[in-house]
Amino acid sequence: MKKKVIAAGHICLDITPVFPDKKVSRLSEILSPGRLIQMGEADVHTGGAVANTGLAMKILGADVTLMGKIGTDAFGEMVCNILRQHDAEKGMILSDQESTSYSVILAVPGIDRIFLHNPGANHSFRASDIPQKALEEAALFHFGYPPLMKSMYEHDGEELVEIMKRAKAAGAATSLDMAAVDPDAEAGTADWEKILERVMPYVDFFVPSVEELCYMLDKKRYTEWQERAGGSDITEMLNIEKDIMPLGKQCMEFGAKALLIKCGAPGMYYKTADRRTLMNIGSRAGLDLNSWAGREGFEKSYVPERILSGTGAGDTSIAAFLTAMLEGYPLEKTLQLSAATGASCVAVYDALSGLKSFEELENKINAGWCKSAR
């Protein structure tokens, strides 16, 4: 019998109108008042941690229940229809008092993407939305994107702490993923260092990106990174010992048991607690303690066949990491599969169509798949 997984948190409907394939230097060249623009088809798919990580785990073979909150409106029905294609709609939380979250993504050729986002029902997600029985049956409870959910960051993360505490008390292993904090939004005023310090004792696997984490723990350092990068990709110029390891150390001191920090194209930093601490992870997960305890390092990315889009690459690499862990893989192999999944997903435009089975990935790795030189 497969181990049960709950993937909960943020979900939305992503709508991307396809603009004419003509690069512009200014948005006003194509968008102006009163103008009719002939467009291509709109790409419509689910987004957010619940859909990206949860569906990816399901495709990779895990027994996953998705728990995101949506409205009983037209967008909510579209979300359910998409999830139904994967037989994954049954755990969704429906509210007739809330609207379904959506993003309209304006990807004008030559211009950085513009996101028009309505958080909708995500803002009202509560610990009480999650059935206790489901938690008691789950081997793993994964929660994603609290910075995009008002109920998770208000009152110093009180509701987020309650959710992770309940899951932990029910015997599930817990994992937590973050999202970028908009400094101009209400989430930007939250004390994220305090929130992380409060919730981390109830988190077994913490899987943020390095930029998200640095913004939350050390805004001054994050500003310095931006200045050093000079508009280029921050992750390309980070030093593992000076920039990344101090953040990892702080997370472990807060109480995380196993840490995976996504560092973009270069790879992923990992650090795990000692064997005694790891024994506190929910036993239903079946963690391979011998290979996981007391480890630290940097797993370089694999060289992708091509690079089309980074959409969902972080979410799917986490999905592979958690699925491999549940299947009893040793840490070294789990990290390889996680990095390989991320490299596979940047070769396609969406989050899920680039996924490959662990068997396919292992064959490719064993055949000498090259690692990134960075």
The tens digit of pLDDT for each residue in 32-68 reads 999 999 999 998 999 999 999 999 999 999 999 999 9
Mean pLDDT of 17-26: 86
Is the distance from CB of 17 to CB of 108 less than 8 angstroms? no
List the alpha helices (DSSP H) in the chain: 49, 55-59, 74-84, 132-137, 150-153, 158-169, 192-199, 210-217, 219-229, 245-254, 275-278, 289-292, 313-326, 331-345, 358-366
31 within domain boundaries: no
Mean pLDDT to the nearest integer, 126-147: 98
Contact criterion met (CB below 8 Å) for 145 and 10: yes
For residue 34, being part of any structural domain is answered with: no
For the chain, what is the domain count? Answer: 1
Of 73-87, 128-142, 259-273, 304-318, the poorest mean pLDDT is in 304-318
What gap in Å lies between CA 51 and CA 65, rounded to an integer? Answer: 11
In this structure, is residue 361 part of a structural domain? yes
CB 272 within 8 A of CB 293: yes
- Listed residue (155, 158, 201, 194) closest to 176, CA to CA: 201
In this prediction, residue 107 carries a pLDDT of: 84
Dist CA 40 CA 91 (whole Å): 34
State the pLDDT at residue 310: 78
Whether the pLDDT of residue 326 is over 80: the answer is yes
Residue 201 lies in a domain: yes
The helix (run of H) or strand (run of E) holding residue 297 is: strand 296-300
Rounded CA-CA distance 166/129 in Å is: 12
Residue 180 belongs to some domain of the structure: yes
Average pLDDT (292-316) is: 91
Strand, helix or coil at 196? helix
- Domain assignment present for residue 32? The answer is no
Q: What percent of the chain has pLDDT over 70?
A: 100
Q: What domain range includes position 147?
A: 4-24+40-366
Question: Residue 374: is its pLDDT beyond 90?
Answer: no
Q: Can you tell me the mean pLDDT for 149-169?
A: 98
Q: Is 186 helix (H, G, I), strand (E, B) or coil?
A: helix
3-state secondary structure 132-154: HHHHHHCCEEEEECHHHCHHHHH
Note whether residue 287 is domain-resident.
yes
List of residues 6+ apart from 110 with CB closer than 8 A:
23, 24, 25
pTM of the predicted model, to two decimals?
A: 0.94
138 within domain boundaries: yes
Residue 163, classed as helix, strand or coil, is helix
Residue 259's Cα: distance from chain center in Å? 14
Query: Contact, 69 vs 51, CB < 8 A?
Result: no
User: Which pLDDT value is given to residue 113?
Assistant: 77
Burial per residue of 57-91, b for 16 or more beta-carbon CB atoms within 10 angstroms, e otherwise = bbbbebebbbbbbbbebebbebbbebbeebebeeb
Average pLDDT of the chain is 95
| Averaged pLDDT for residues 280-300 | 97
pLDDT above 70: residue 75: yes
**CATH code, 214:** 3.40.1190.20
Of 155-159, 187-191, 230-234, give the lowest mean pLDDT range.
Answer: 230-234
Q: Which pLDDT tens digit goes with each residue over 220-237?
A: 999 999 999 888 889 989
Q: What is the pLDDT of residues 334-353, one digit of tens each?
A: 999 999 999 999 888 787 98
Cα 168 versus chain centre, distance: 20
